[in-house]
Amino acid sequence: MKRRDFLKKSGIAAIAVSTFGFIRYDGEKFVGDCETTSDILGPFYRPDSPVRNSLLIEGEAGRQIELSGVVRHQDCKTPYRNAKVELWHCDGYGVYDNSSDDFRYRGTTYTNSDGSYSFQTILPIPYDVGDGTIRPAHFHMMISTEEYQPLVTQLYFSGDQHIESDPWAAAAKGRVLDVEELSNGSTRVHFPVNMAKTLSIEPSSIDKLTGEYIHEQNPESAVEFFKSNNKLWMKNEVHGEMFEYVGNNRFQYPGNPDAMYQYLHFEILPSGSVKLRMTLTDMDFNEHSSIYIKDA
């Protein structure tokens, strides 16, 4: 499936998941002192990528680059040992591997005793999402630990001419990275990460929300939710998009740019059915809401 068609069918052209670091939720937004911010997750996340530090593929186009950094606890000082770090990105032609068993340009590693991690891969390129919009070159990352909320973020590279016109990249605090030129002709970027605890929800409560929801006015339209790592995910053709709980039966993507948001509000009805109101803004900041029902 072409990227443009997939984005249209997924119902979400760009998705953001949380802001992390030494933070708290103040009732309206996440705030903090040494935050590691998120960016759009997009529809191309795949779980269970191979454990490997090198994503290089012999004979493939692309300039070699090392991505390295340190994962720390929420005090922003203490290294976090054995944090799971997932990396994925497009190839040298702007294409993601969304289905092959090779998991091309996708990999998982774990931090060592001093919290450090590293990957060897290629520098991704900007690409057209299908309507003439150019996304800047970027890495996708997910960092997971036993103590903290998973961090999903995205990294950009200084000097990319497409950053200024991209609303998510333009707002990327601390995630537009300088690319260091090495003597062997390769390049290197460094990205430190600070983890944090945020609002949580009981796993049994998430279980009540999972399943298929049918559109109230269009029975042929449906969305499906599942639980993974005690988080609520909306299924798509690759894996899913993760939502964060922010209280009052509401889940959302709090990392979206200002005035852009998407949230889900669930209401458990006396019959045992669940009513879902899905609200989002489009690229012109127009608000849209849809109602879905899951039978008891």
How sure is the predictor about 20, in pLDDT bands with cuts at 50, 70 and 90? very low
| Rounded distance between C-alpha atoms, residue 275 and residue 249, angstroms | 11
All CATH 2.40.128 domain ranges in the chain, comma separated? 203-294
Region of poorest pLDDT, from 3-7, 85-89, 261-265? 3-7
| Per-residue pLDDT reduced to its tens digit, 73-128 | 988 889 999 999 999 999 999 999 999 999 999 999 999 999 999 999 999 999 98
pLDDT score for 117: 98
- Residue 29 CA to residue 27 CA, distance in Å, equals 6
Select the CATH number that applies to the domain covering 203-294 from these four: 3.30.70, 2.70.50, 2.40.160, 2.40.128: 2.40.128
Q: What percent of the chain has a predicted confidence (pLDDT) above 70?
A: 79
The CATH architecture annotation of domain 3-194 reads Sandwich (2.60)
Cα atoms in the Cβ-side hemisphere of radius 13 Å centred on 277 = 9
Amino acid 225: pLDDT = 95
Tell if the pTM clears 0.85, that is, is over it.
no
Picking from 47-51, 146-150, 177-181, which range would have the lowest pLDDT averaged per residue?
A: 146-150
**Amino acid at position 244, single letter:** E
The residues, ordered by sequence, that sit 6+ positions from 244 with a Cβ below 8 Å of its Cβ are: 17, 18, 149, 198, 199, 231, 251, 252, 253, 254
- Sequence ranges of the chain with CATH classification 2.60.130.10: 3-194
**Model confidence pLDDT, tens digit, residues 34-73:** 667 655 556 688 999 999 999 999 999 889 999 999 999 9
HSE-CB for 21 with a 13 A CA cutoff: 17
